[in-house]
Structure 1
Amino acid sequence: MQKQHFLKLFLNEIEDGNAAIFAGAGLSIGAGFVDWKNLLAPLAEELGLDLSLEQDLVSVAQYFCNGTNRNRITQVLIDELGISASPTRNHEILAALPIDTYWTTNYDRLIEKALENERKVVDSKYNKDHLANTKRGRDVVLYKMHGDVENAHDTILTKDEYEKYPFTHAPFITALSGDLVSKTFLFLGFSFTDPNLDYILSRIRVNFKDNQRNHYCIFKRCSRNQFDSVEAFDNGKIKQELVAQDLKRFHINVIFVNNYHEIQEILETLYRQYKRKTVFISGSADVFGEWEQSEVEDALFKLGNAMVDKEFKVASGIGLGIGNALISGVIASAYNKQHLHLDDYLIMRPFPQSIEDPEDRKAIWKRYRTEIISKSGIALFFMGNKKQGGDLIDANGVIEEFEIAHEQGIFLIPIGCSGYASNKLWDRVMGDVEKYYPNTNKELLGKIKELGAQVDSPKQIISQVIDLLDLVIKE
């Protein structure tokens, strides 16, 4: 499957609330943890086995347990995975996306840490008793179907434990079967050699036949340095293609990459495209320059309409003279849609006014701005003036929001023709294009440049902005 096709389809599932993640050991290797083979390596050495020649690693764990006892394997698990480690960038991206269902065969706690860093409440379930309880206010459910390192003695490691799984962990099989039927999964760091998952997928295929959801997984192509000979490499390539074809029986579509860094690039693109569907509007106006206030408000109302019609979500602190008209346009258009959820189209955060201490107000407002801007991928800047005493000055809040958005890597669109602070910000970005728009295509830059040209009516800006937003989304 082509990357762009996958990105479009899976992004739709994320926006519809249907996406889920299945994480395998490969997702944790970048944090310094070992994979299954390296975890068992010292045990295989004691058995006198060459692990590079073994394919059935679950049986290797069983062989060791047969000769000694389960406690030794448990201790190895604690020693290797009980160390403190930080989530990888891939963990961070996944945690930042609005995905509320995670499954993993991993024992470590990297997923929990990444989600908690995003201030999400995680309901972690790693034994069947947990399934009967619900954590209050949870944002995410994390199913650790093979257990957790903090309860290493109850993890699923040996062949005997895998064989008993359908009986000892039947509720997990039921729960995963339900999610695989109702949600679209992205499998990451997973090799599809797990017998429990194979059992579940087979049951779904038999019961639902071709009436199944599509799922996705990312595989790194075989490389020559993984094999001892050219013949083994050629065999590995053929087998990998055959595995990818076989996964289509379960409606799992494979996206191939040439190196592991490409996986991060795909996730970064997915996250960027998701965020760019949310547009932060910065602006304020005590005066409206050469335009009439009524025509500015009418233009902003229609811009709000158009953004919702294009399926953009609008975030705003409701700036003076600007916010109300724009928000009204968003709400009016959203209410005309069927199956309305206003939260799908609007993040509305009026600034708290009743903070008397100037220093406290400044600090709280900055944090407030940072939080709402962080939810966006594009920032529009319109006008930006206010009266201070008897003077008309550029709105320092608009400039601060520009700087925060730039620090966060958000795509900046100052509407220069609207004047005031926005005009100065347009001058700034046009004066240092490489700084503000690195690697941006010429067509998009040309559209931003056009926003500096004077227009007779603010209504002329609407189509310019919508065209520009469409280009940014596709970048």
Structure 2
Amino acid sequence: MKLDVNEFIDDFGRCMEEGAAGLFVGAGLSIPAGYPSWQAIMKTCLSDLKLSKKFDDMPQLAQHYQDNIPGGRDRLTQLIVDKIQGVPNPTPTRSHELLAQLPVNVLWTTNYDTLLEQSHPGAEFFTDDDQLAGPSPKAAECRIYKMHGTIAPKSHHTTHRPERARIVISKDDYEEYPTTHPRMWALLHAHFLTRTFLLSGLSFTDPNLEHIFRLIRLMKSEGPRPHFAILRKPTDRRDQRPHELKLGELERVGIQTLEIAEYEDIEDILRQLVSRSRPYRLFISGSPIDVNTNGGSISYEEDEIPTKLMSFAKCLGAQIHTTCDRIMAAGGVGAQVGYEMARQLNFRGKYDPECLILVRRYRDEEVDYPNLRIGKLVFTGKDPNDLRQAAFKQVRAMVILGGQRGSMSEYEQALKLHLGIIPVGMTGGTAQQVWGMIERNFDNYLLGGRKVNRQDFDLLNQPNEHAAAQATLRLAQQALYKI
């Protein structure tokens, strides 16, 4: 079944929260890093075999080469090694970096390159079936299984001979895999039974899809978990119908698909998944609109917060614990929300220092306002940008109250990171500006991957602070994927 991207983000996000997610990475994720496609790698084989350029069955092509060209297996292996090692300075892409930020500790790949290892430096990786025969050499938070072998980047320290590159490539290799790699196959089977996998970097012609089909067909009677695939649409119109048939086949074996135009589109989807999987915490942003803070670099005293803004901050704080008991705040306005929330939790005997984190920049002078001994005070970076980058890695959504230039910078950065953004327009300043920008494009405004209730959004800009606070809480629940 074709998926809406926001539906997919929510569904797979829940699997990550449960600790029951896995990743299966195909060759498409390595192409933006400069690695060749299968078609480019096998071009020489087509020429040597005197075949037409249109030959999508790569394992069969490899089998023909192996069977009909003298020394075919060694020559084919060396050809692939040369192509993989011929990529200059291979570096993980942004998509690889985003994968490393997801709370997923099991990754499978059919890729020969080492981009996943580079982007997961603390991971334990397995490249050969024999590695699974004994005890694990170390306790790793993440494990990478390279089910078709590996080819290290070329350097003056390493050389690879054909016989040493034990890779899966030919049709025989694919068909005999359960026998030649019994431990890998059994473990992959177990993981697909107990986890929900996301398959990315694949196209409808990718031979590795057959691996997955074969595996899931074997598990059909065992009640397999649902799985997801990100598939690139074909660029050739003649491939459209085969592509549609492949989607139908995927659906029949329990794989829901999300289609993309280019492999580069995976990056945006992964960025949304990273946002969805961040800690369950709400960021409160804002500052008085009539106090000069020089973009957030100058602090201000409590009595400089306008009465109306202070009143709303305390009103929101008194109720926010019913929606989210974990917030992060920067500056005096956000601190007031947090202080009031902490007081309410303390009154109910539920106070925990982790409920409130106040973030501040490193300063040479003494700590100034806010400095109540409640919650946790964390110093991060020496300028507002450092503070925001650190803070936004620890939250899922942001509420904007008032605000000036610094708050607008926070909004722009949060937007790029796909955080849920709730601007309380009635507090003025940046919040009102952002409310107006969203209002003009309201049909595209989403929180938690879903459309926003128009009445709640309008209440954010109404003068009734209690109604605005209640609307903020309802939208915060949605932005945090709580409802």
- TM-score for both structures, normalised by structure 2: 0.70
- How far the C-alpha of 1:184 sits from its partner, in A, is 0.8
Alignment of 1:450-461 (within 5 A): 451=460, 453-455=462-464, 459-461=466-468
Amino acid at match of 1:20: G
- Match of residue 392 from structure 1: none
| RMSD after superposition | 4.6
Amino acid at match of 2:3: K
Q: Please, which of 148, 151, 160 is the counterpart of residue 149 of structure 1?
A: 151
Q: Comparing both chains, which one has the higher relative contact order based on Cα–Cα distances under 8 Å and sequence gaps of 6 or more? A: 2
- How far the C-alpha of 1:41 sits from its partner, in A, is 1.6
1:25-79 Cα deviation digits (max 9, x unpaired): 2232233322223212213322333352463534525633762154433332233
- TM-score for both structures, normalised by structure 1: 0.71
- Match of residue 471 from structure 2: 464
- Match of residue 214 from structure 1: 226
Query: Could you tell me how far apart the structure 1 residues matched to 2:117 and 2:346 are?
Result: 36
Query: Could you tell me how far apart the structure 2 residues matched to 1:330 and 1:115 are?
Result: 39
Answer whether contact 2:359 2:391 (CA < 8 A) is retained: no
Query: Could you tell me how far apart the structure 2 residues matched to 1:436 and 1:412 are?
Result: 14
1:111-132 Cα deviation digits (max 9, x unpaired): 334445xxxx322222235444
- How far the C-alpha of 1:182 sits from its partner, in A, is 0.8
- Match of residue 326 from structure 1: 341
1:193 has 2:190 as partner:
no
- How far the C-alpha of 1:299 sits from its partner, in A, is 4.2
Equivalent position SS for 2:324? helix
Equivalent position SS for 2:389? helix
Alignment of 1:153-302 (within 5 A): 153-190=165-202, 191=204, 193-194=207-208, 196-206=211-221, 208=222, 211-225=223-237, 233=238, 236-257=239-260, 266-267=269-270, 269-271=272-274, 278-282=281-285, 286-287=302-303, 290=307, 297=314, 299-302=316-319
Q: Please, which of 85, 101, 111 is the counterpart of residue 106 of structure 1?
A: 111
1:73 has 2:76 as partner:
yes
Aligned length: 426
Change in CA separation of 1:164 and 1:411 when aligned onto 2, cut-off 3 Å: closer
- Match of residue 306 from structure 1: 323
Equivalent position SS for 1:3? coil
Query: Could you tell me how far apart the structure 1 residues matched to 2:345 and 2:24 are?
Result: 36
Query: Could you tell me how far apart the structure 2 residues matched to 1:10 and 1:108 are?
Result: 26
Answer whether contact 1:304 1:328 (CA < 8 A) is retained: no
- How far the C-alpha of 1:185 sits from its partner, in A, is 1.1
Answer whether contact 1:374 1:408 (CA < 8 A) is retained: no
1:241-299 Cα deviation digits (max 9, x unpaired): 33333334432233445665665555455555556975212468734754798996574
Larger helix percent: 1
Query: Could you tell me how far apart the structure 1 residues matched to 2:179 and 2:343 are?
Result: 56
Query: Could you tell me how far apart the structure 1 residues matched to 2:380 and 2:15 are?
Result: 39
Amino acid at match of 1:11: G
Change in CA separation of 1:306 and 1:74 when aligned onto 2, cut-off 3 Å: same
Answer whether contact 2:98 2:270 (CA < 8 A) is retained: yes
Query: Could you tell me how far apart the structure 2 residues matched to 1:404 and 1:295 are?
Result: 21
Answer whether contact 1:3 1:266 (CA < 8 A) is retained: no
Change in CA separation of 1:129 and 1:462 when aligned onto 2, cut-off 3 Å: farther
- Match of residue 156 from structure 2: none
Query: Could you tell me how far apart the structure 1 residues matched to 2:42 and 2:349 are?
Result: 56
Amino acid at match of 1:213: R
Mind listing any 5+ residue stretches in structure 2 that lack a counterpart? 153-159, 288-300, 368-378
- How far the C-alpha of 1:218 sits from its partner, in A, is 3.0
- How far the C-alpha of 1:416 sits from its partner, in A, is 5.7
Mind listing any 5+ residue stretches in structure 1 that lack a counterpart? 226-232, 337-341, 385-397
1:301-335 Cα deviation digits (max 9, x unpaired): 42122236xxxx64446964442433566899997
Change in CA separation of 1:110 and 1:204 when aligned onto 2, cut-off 3 Å: same
Answer whether contact 2:461 2:468 (CA < 8 A) is retained: no
- How far the C-alpha of 1:463 sits from its partner, in A, is 0.9
Equivalent position SS for 2:178? helix
Percent of residue pairs bearing the same amino acid type: 22
